[in-house]
Structure 1
Amino acid sequence: MTVSDLMRALLQDSYGEARDVLAFDDIPVPEPGEGEVRVRVHAAALNAADVYIMRGRPTIGRLAFGLPRPRQPIRGQDLAGVVDAVGPGVTRLSVGDRVAAEGDGALAEYACLKEALPVRVAASLPLAEAAAVPLAGVTALQAVRVGGVRSGHRVLVNGAAGGVGSFAVQLAAANGAEVTGVCGARNAETVLSLGAARVIDYAAEDFVGTGPYDVVVDLAGNRTLRELRTALAPDGTLVLSSGNGTPMMGPLWRNAAASLTSPLTGRRLRPLLARTSRDEVGYLFSRIARGDLRPLIGRTYPFEEAVEALAHVSEGHARGKVVVTLREE
């Protein structure tokens, strides 16, 4: 095996915190199989989901992630890059296409993905920005749709300065809603610039008593269902999209309670398990091209500092998206 047959990747062989369980190594460059394309990764965007998988929390998630260690050793789920090889049966994509996708193993120099996943990226959109869109952007889009956000609605986004929240604020405002964003004081101007009409500093004011709101999008997972219902109008909708909860079960009990009690309260309590689709990522890219949506990138890290990037996201207060750059365009 020659040096050119190897690639650099960020690997994990046990569950825990970033600085304890992540390390770089050289591993074989993957070959695309039937219906797969290989992407030369230029940028990878990090998400809260990466932290949950890295920690193996909630513990029940290990049934899917892998026991006793992650089944997929390469962290990262959102990537953008250039197709550099195609497997048998691939017809939609070609070598040289600029693409972005949600796919496992983003923090590596190359990644193989099913052809159905990647979306072509226009030449006008930097790949670092494209990487920030798939998981967070689609989660926000689905949250706004599940909430039925429309013109005239009063909408509260709890966690407005984060990766998903920054998209949700923009999408809700574009639908004509009056958006209130909940975030820290240092991010207030940023959230206002995204289209929020008002910002509540969670350290200085309790948003629960500031309603009623037609829609509450809870991305922080730091308030009880009772408190969140209090903020809703009598016929309002609560959208729950957070992995926070108990160490063992995560948000499962909370989401189950929301589904069971929703018919009894007169309010709609809607847990959201977002599923990224190529069409919805493409739709978001079209909005970005029109100029009425933009990825908010709070920090970028070079590939060699990817462990620190994940440690930063693990702290839970990242502004917008955190992007790791592997190559210059």
Structure 2
Amino acid sequence: MKAVTARRYGPADSLRIEELPRPEPGPGEILIRIRAASVTTADWRLRAAAFPGGLALIGRLVAGLWRPRHLVPGSDVAGEVVMLGAGVTGFAVGQRVLAVLGHGGHAEYGLAKATGAVVPLPEGMGFDEAAALPFGGLTALEFLRDVASLRAGQEVLILGASGGVGAYAVQIAAALGARVTAVAGPGREGLLRGLGAVGVLDHRKDEVAGRFDLVFDTVGAMRWPESRGLLGKQGLFLPLNFGLWDLGHLLRAKLTGGPRMVLHVSRESRAGLQTLLELWRAGKLRPVIDSRFALDEIAAAHRLVETRHRAGAVVLEIGA
């Protein structure tokens, strides 16, 4: 099978397309013929060892000290079940599915744990749309619903609102009944109002003002001291990207009282994917795709993600 390989840390051009043996499903595993996969911020950081905020050593201990621990990158995929491992129930060969693999997704075939984050695709959803959902959708869902406990009527400021997470955060916050002020680059107002934002600011020229119940920073544009002036007394600053220095900010937030700060790392789950698909069926969530690339254009896809100036997801289309 054709697969993207990352045999060392480095720039986007260090990625290669190689012929590798097709994986075989073990007990409890599903083999998926991958039709589409997303290229995410996590894929870029793992390929380049670009771990934020003083976390380089910790990041390498997790991802691989001298080179990437996993040869084939990529996590979020959509495709068809082609083989079932021993003991697998609830899935059938030929079934269309959406899955979060963890690794191995930028290839023609990949393995998913049958009890993991894998769900059937609903009728009418394309493979590329499905692959665009998990990274941004699951992150936004967990941060807004579970961590922030966002409620109807609350005022939310979302920074990086047109990005891979932000485009879903705007929709999920609106679906939860919040009033969303979105901050993004120029030319994004039409997109963001269409996703549910009631206010849109251009980060290059517009000043952020007002009082918010939640500031959700999806791109690392704001630090805790800046957020305090925008939050009400019970407000919450929720950064998606954080470094070691933020532990000091977190301690000060706890000691000084007033607005809060929470540091959190999201996880993937089958229940989360099912919720995203329920929102899609209800017309409250739509996949947002910036660009599509072929598998052999993987370096270009990574370079686009690395600019951090995309509107929504970057998707690889793999096979016909």
Separation in structure 1 between the aligned mates of residue 90 and residue 243 of structure 2, nearest angstrom: 38
Residue of 296, 299, 303 corresponding to 2:288:
296
Deviates more, 1:28-37 or 1:264-273: 264-273
Look up the match of 2:219. Answer: 220
Kindly state the Cα deviation for residue 157 of structure 1 after the two structures are TM-superposed.
0.3
CA deviations over 1:173-231 (Å, ceiling 9, x no partner): 12221110000112121111101011110000232xx1211111011112221012221
Q: Normalising by structure 2, report the TM-score.
A: 0.94
Task: Give distance in 1, aligned partners of 2:203 and 2:106.
Answer: 33
Give the alignment's TM-score, normalised by structure 1: 0.91
Bigger shift: 88-97 or 27-36?
Answer: 88-97
Contact 2:159 2:221 in 1 (8 A): no
Structure 1: how far apart are the matches of 2:75 and 2:215? 27
- Identify the residue that residue 46 of structure 1 maps to in structure 2: 39
Of the three residues 17, 21, 25, the one matched with 1:24 is 17
Query: Does structure 1 residue 71 correspond to structure 2 residue 64?
Result: no
Sequence identity of aligned pairs in percent?
36
| One-letter code aligned to 2:220 | G
Could you list the runs of 5+ residues in structure 1 that have no partner in the other structure?
Answer: 1-6, 243-250
1:262 aligns to 2:261 (yes or no): no
User: What do you get for the CA RMSD once the two structures are aligned?
Assistant: 1.3
2:272 is aligned with 1:280: yes
The alpha carbon displacement at 1:258 in A equals 4.0
Give 1:156's aligned residue: 157
Contact 2:74 2:105 in 1 (8 A): yes
CA distance in 2, matches of 1:261, 1:143: 22
Corresponding position of 1:101: 99
Match of residue 126 from structure 1: 126
Question: How far 1:319 moved relative to its partner?
Answer: 0.9
> In the comparison of the two structures, how many residue pairs are matched?
311
- Confirm or deny: 8 A CA contact 2:119 2:273 kept in the other structure: yes
Q: Which amino acid aligns with 2:293?
A: Y
For 2:213 and 2:155, how far apart are their aligned partners in 1? 5
Preserved CA contact (<8 Å) 1:154 1:178: yes
Partner of 1:312: 304
In the TM superposition, residue 256 of structure 1 has moved relative to its aligned partner by 1.8
Q: Which amino acid aligns with 1:212?
A: R
Letter in 2 for 1:135: F
Residue 113 of structure 1 aligns with an amino acid whose one-letter code is A
**8 Å contact from structure 1 (residues 42, 326) kept in 2:** yes
What is the deviation of 1:90?
Answer: 1.0
Q: 1:304 offset after TM fit, Å? A: 2.0
SS of equivalent to 2:125 = coil
Judge conservation of contact 2:15–2:298 (CA < 8 Å) in 1. Answer: no
> Aligned equivalents of 1:105 and 1:89: distance in 2?
22
Q: Which residue number in structure 2 is paired with residue 245 of structure 1?
A: none
Give yes or no for the alignment of 1:185 onto 2:186. yes
Cα deviation code 1:56-78 (max 9, x no counterpart): 12222010111210011112111
Work out whether residues 4 and 295 of structure 2, in 8 Å CA contact, stay in contact via their aligned partners in 1.
no
Q: What is the Cα deviation at residue 168 of structure 1?
A: 0.7
**2:111 equivalent in structure 1:** 112
Secondary structure of the 2:188 match is helix
Deviations 1:14-69 (A, max 9, x none): 111112x1010101000011111110000001111111101112222010111210
**1:187-206, aligned counterparts within 5 Å?**
187-206=188-207
| Residues 77 and 106, structure 1, Cα contact 8 Å, conserved in 2 | yes
Q: Which residue identity does 1:27 align to in structure 2?
A: L
- For 2:302, the aligned partner's letter is L
Q: CA deviation at 1:131?
A: 0.8
Structure 2 distance, partners of 1:152, 1:254, is: 33
The alignment partner of 2:180 has SS state of strand
State the SS of the aligned residue for 1:235: strand
- When residues 257 and 206 of structure 1 are mapped into structure 2, their CA distance, relative to the original with a 3 A threshold, is farther
Asked whether the 8 Å contact 1:159–1:182 carries over to 2, the reply is: yes
Deviation digits for residues 96-116 of structure 1 (CA, Å, limit 9, x no counterpart): 111111111111000012112
For 1:13, the aligned partner's letter is: R
More off after superposition, 299-308 vs 273-282: 299-308
Tell me, yes or no, if the aligned pair for 1:211 and 1:233 is still in contact at 8 Å.
Answer: no
Q: Which whole-Å deviations, capped at 9, do the CAs of 1:307-328 have from their partners, x for residues lacking one?
A: 2111110111111011110023
